[in-house]
Structure 1
Amino acid sequence: MGTAIGDILPLALGVAISPIPIIAAILMLLTPKAGSTATSFTAGWILGIAVAYAVIVVIASAVGLHTSSGGNPTTATIKIILGVLMLGLAVKQWKGRPAPGAEPTMPGWLAAIDKVTPGKALGLGFALSAVNPKNLLMIVGAAVAVANLGVSGGAITVAGIVFTVIAASTVAVPVIAYFAAREKATVWLGELKSWLTANNATVMAVLLLVIGVVMIGKGIGGY
Structure 2
Amino acid sequence: MGQVIGEVLPLALGVAISPIPIIAAILMLLSPKARGTSVGFLMGWVLGIVVAVVVFALLSSFLPESGSDAPKPISGVIKIVLGIALLALAVRQWRSRPKEGIAPVLPKWMAAIDSMTAGRGFALGFVLAAVNPKNLLMGVAAGVAVGSDAPNAGASVVAVVVYVVIAASTVAVPVIAYLAAAQRMATPLESLRGWLTRNNSTVMAVLLLIIGVVVIGKGLANFS
Alignment of 1:69-88 (within 5 A): 69-88=69-88
Answer whether contact 1:26 1:193 (CA < 8 A) is retained. Answer: yes
Uncovered stretches (5+) of structure 2, i.e. residues with no partner: none
Alpha-carbon separation, structure 2, partners of 1:64 and 1:50: 24
Alpha-carbon separation, structure 2, partners of 1:49 and 1:217: 24
Q: State the match for 2:222 in structure 1.
A: 222
Alignment of 1:111-126 (within 5 A): 111-126=111-126
Alpha-carbon separation, structure 2, partners of 1:79 and 1:164: 20
Q: State the match for 2:162 in structure 1.
A: 162
Distance 1:106 1:168, change over 3 A: same
What letter matches 2:78 in structure 1? Answer: I
Answer whether contact 2:60 2:143 (CA < 8 A) is retained. Answer: yes
Alpha-carbon separation, structure 2, partners of 1:67 and 1:191: 51
Superposition deviation, residue 201 in structure 1: 0.2
Alignment of 1:1-223 (within 5 A): 1-65=1-65, 69-223=69-223
What letter matches 1:112 in structure 2? Answer: A
Answer whether contact 1:83 1:214 (CA < 8 A) is retained. Answer: yes
Answer whether contact 1:86 1:208 (CA < 8 A) is retained. Answer: yes
Alpha-carbon separation, structure 1, partners of 2:45 and 2:35: 16
RMSD: 1.2
What letter matches 1:203 in structure 2? Answer: V
2:61 counterpart SS class: helix
Alpha-carbon separation, structure 1, partners of 2:67 and 2:167: 25
Answer whether contact 1:66 1:147 (CA < 8 A) is retained. Answer: no
Alpha-carbon separation, structure 2, partners of 1:123 and 1:99: 33
Superposition deviation, residue 68 in structure 1: 5.1
What letter matches 1:188 in structure 2? Answer: P
Uncovered stretches (5+) of structure 1, i.e. residues with no partner: none
TM-score, normalisation: structure 2:
0.96
1:62 counterpart SS class: coil
Alpha-carbon separation, structure 1, partners of 2:63 and 2:5: 22
TM-score, normalisation: structure 1:
0.97
